[in-house]
Structures are given as C-alpha cells and as structure tokens.
Structure 1
C-alpha cells in the first residue's frame, strides 16, 4: 500500500471560501489586457519577415525596374506634318511638339510620399488667375507662375534634378523612343455604333427607324433581369487619358524648343502632352544632366549675349 501524503499544499480551498466573480467582470478584464503577439501573426509585417505580395512595398519593388531613369517634359501639340526621305522615297507622318518654358517645380520622395517623382510646370499664367495657395507654392521654390503642372515618375533619387532647373528640347535625342501621354479629343455624347463599333440592326425585314439604336440591354430571368455592369451603351466619348508608346524622335530643335515624333499622338491641337523615355525600349545611354540646366545658367547666357 502506498504511503499517505501528510501535507495538502496543492489542494483547493473550500468553495465557500472563494469569492464569487461575475462572468462579465472576467470578460472585461480579458478585453483590457494587451493582445499577446505570437510568432505566427495574422500578417507577416514584422522585422525580418518576407514582404507581402499585396502590400504597397511589394508593388513599388515590382514597378521599380520599369521606372524611367530621368524626368520627362511637357509639350504643346502644334499639329502634324511629314518628313520626306529622298534616299528611300518614303513620306513619314510626324507630329510637331513644342516645349514652353518647361521647368522643375518640386520633388516627390520615397520616404515622405511613397514614390520618386519630379513635378514639372510649363507655360505662364497671370497672377490674378492663380489662387493664393498656388502662388505660395511657386513662391516657396522661387519659380515663375506656371499654367500646367504634372508629375513624372523616376526610378530613384538620381533622377531628381535641382528645383528650378529648365528643361530644354535636347533632353531627347534623335533616334530614341519615347512614350507620349495625353487626353484624347472629346467627341461629346455619341451613339453605340460610333463609340463601340456596333454593326447596327438589319436594314430591312420589318426594321423601322431602329437601324442605329441599341437592341436589348440584357436578358430576362436567366441573367437576373438586370443590366450587367460594363454593358456597352451610348454615352460620352473621348476626353480620357491615353498613352502612345514607342514613338521615334525624328527631329530636335533646341533653339525653338521643338521635338518632332513619328506618328500621331492623342489630343487636339494646343493640348498639353507628357513626353518621357519609353519603358519598352532600352534606356538612352546619355548623361542625366543633358537637357536640364540650372535656373541661373540660361539667364546668364542671355545677359552675356546682349
């Protein structure tokens, strides 16, 4: 027979000696306690853990190799022309773009804004047509008032030129490829045949005054008796952002600020476009300072010429 223990140190006291604790009080105490962090947390955002594929950091790293190394320029669409090559007897359709007082206004940095970008302004504007916050923005960096402001994403801090630098037409070299971004020409409210390329309804066999109108917009009970999202219908056409990629630079005139590109670009005449190095072509092997001069260098050259 095993020996009997003489001490009862680990035995519970009688129930009548234990104070009764309400269940809701225990629940309240548990809620105010700090949550215990476990190694297998719901989101692996800790130090030394791999980056989530759906996070902003992972998206930035995926886009980083495709970002241009330098800034772009703002240009005004002047119209289309053609260049004739007597050697090949070919006539190439081109678009004439002109830079109008293009200047660096500000920077966007990775630590403060989440990405690298250059803010560029072009044109000019009267002070009475500029709001006070805009005037303060230009006065803080010491540049004249600009009509248009746009951003150009760059890969890293090396592509951020000095604030106030003037961007000239020789930023682009003849033979290189660029991407041109702009807003398409607005068409207003148009029908489905013009907007989406519908073939139209039959021209005969009982069709009366419904040759260009749309037919059914959706099924009956089988498809939910509703119009599904994304259904092509008549509506406003044009006035949307559009990018034409890999356009070849045909001519560059630095003195007049003219850049001639091959082919057509989006937007009507006198519209403002964004020109930047093509992301689907090799980067031009030139110095990043070419085409970007300090704000005081141009004025000094003009004074010396006078």
Structure 2
C-alpha cells in the first residue's frame, strides 16, 4: 500500500508540474507585433505633452510633493500602498541607464499597452496598463517623444514591498488572462464624436476607472459598477461615484464638470481635495475641448448608485 500511495503522490506531482508549466506557457508575456510601432515618424511633441498630462505621469513618477518644473523630473514617486503591499513607481526619466531613455518605442509601447517590461517580465497593474491598452500607437509615440525631452535623473526607486504570493510575477499572467482587455468599458450607442473622444480619454490615458471603479478580491474591476466609486485602493476613505447616478456629482451639468476640471472648484464653491488635487492639476493642462469631451462622456455613461 505504501508503494501505491507513493506512486499516487508522484503522479499528482507530475500532473501539478505539467499544469504549472502549461499555465506559464499560456500566460507568458505577450508583446505587440513590431509592425504596430513601425512608421510612426517624428513625435508630435505638443500632442505628447497633452497625453503626458492626460495620463497623469507626474502624479506617480515625480518626487512626492514636487511642484512646478520639478513635476517633470520623473525620478520615481512615493509608494503606492494597497491590500497587496506597497508598490514603488520607478524612474521613467530620460536617463539612459536608470530611466527609460534608451528604450525603443516598441519596448515603451509594450509596457504601456501589454504590461511587459523591457526584459520581457510581467509588470504589476499598479502601473495602469489595463487602461493605457486603449491608447493609439500615435499617442504613445508622441508621449515617448515628449518624455525624452524631460530632465534625466539617476535616482533608483526601491523595490516593491510585496509578500508571498504577490511577489511572484509569473502569476500576473493569470491576472492578465482574467482582467486585461483593450475593449471599451461601456458600450455607447449613437455616441457623438465628442463623447467618443471623452471615452478614449477617460477609459484610456486618463485611467479614471483605476480609482473610481470598485475591484474584486483579485484586484480586477467590477465591470458592472464602472466609475461608481468605492473604497480607496490606496488605503483610507472612499473614491466618489462620478456617474450620472452619483448623489453628489450626478446633478452637475457638463459645463460645471468642465469648470471643476479646469479650476478645481465645485458648483457650490468647494475645492478639490485628496488625491484628486494632482489629477485636477493635470486636467487643467488639457485643451478646453478635451475637458468638454470628458464631461460629455461622464454624462453619457449609465447611472450607477
């Protein structure tokens, strides 16, 4: 009987190893086709600047508390705390050794849209590639071109502080299989060009859902509660509902949303607070038409309680 038992254990071990090997193959990092990035030409730096602020790059990657031009030094920011541990935003400055100055457009694009690092590793979704996946190759090319004009820094960010099993990057392939998609977050029928532009900005570079949409136990969006608010993914407090069903913002007009994004003042003359302060600073850098598009989209999506 002992021999039979050992054989059974051995068989299970072989099956387990085979299953894990299959998992690794199926969920291996998936790069974009190189043709995706071919023939992009010279970057449109003005558009790249706009994409930079829409994407909130400095909010995470500039030094904590940075103001003015220091917000353009992307040396790595304050830790992003979560239920899974603390993530440290890396140096993404133009420094060739410590930043991403020596990366190719394809390497940068794979990180942005597929969550794949330069060395072929899975990136943690604390970097919102789940939203950036909707960005166009042109916008990514223009963004990278603009970022290469910014100051270089030789700072080195500390490693992530994650316990087991979250420190096992191989498992991120399974997370991507479950949650990573470039499909629209909401289906909008007969949407105007302005609403479509707003959808692109909110669901893509603006990555608004990363904070304003509640998540399940594995960190994936609860898709039926898009932008309905929920617990603050970084710790204390809550993030508000910004759909038309919101008790606070649901009654705001499009023009009032536009004014809030530009000035930081609500219709009742309160001012923006918390982590939204940095977001509003970025929104103020966008064109008036882009702020109007964001507002049009937020009024067009389904209302959630």
TM-score (norm 1): 0.23
Larger radius of gyration: 1
Q: Name the one with the larger helix percent.
A: 2
- Comparing both chains, which one has the higher relative contact order based on Cα–Cα distances under 8 Å and sequence gaps of 6 or more? 1
TM-score (norm 2): 0.23
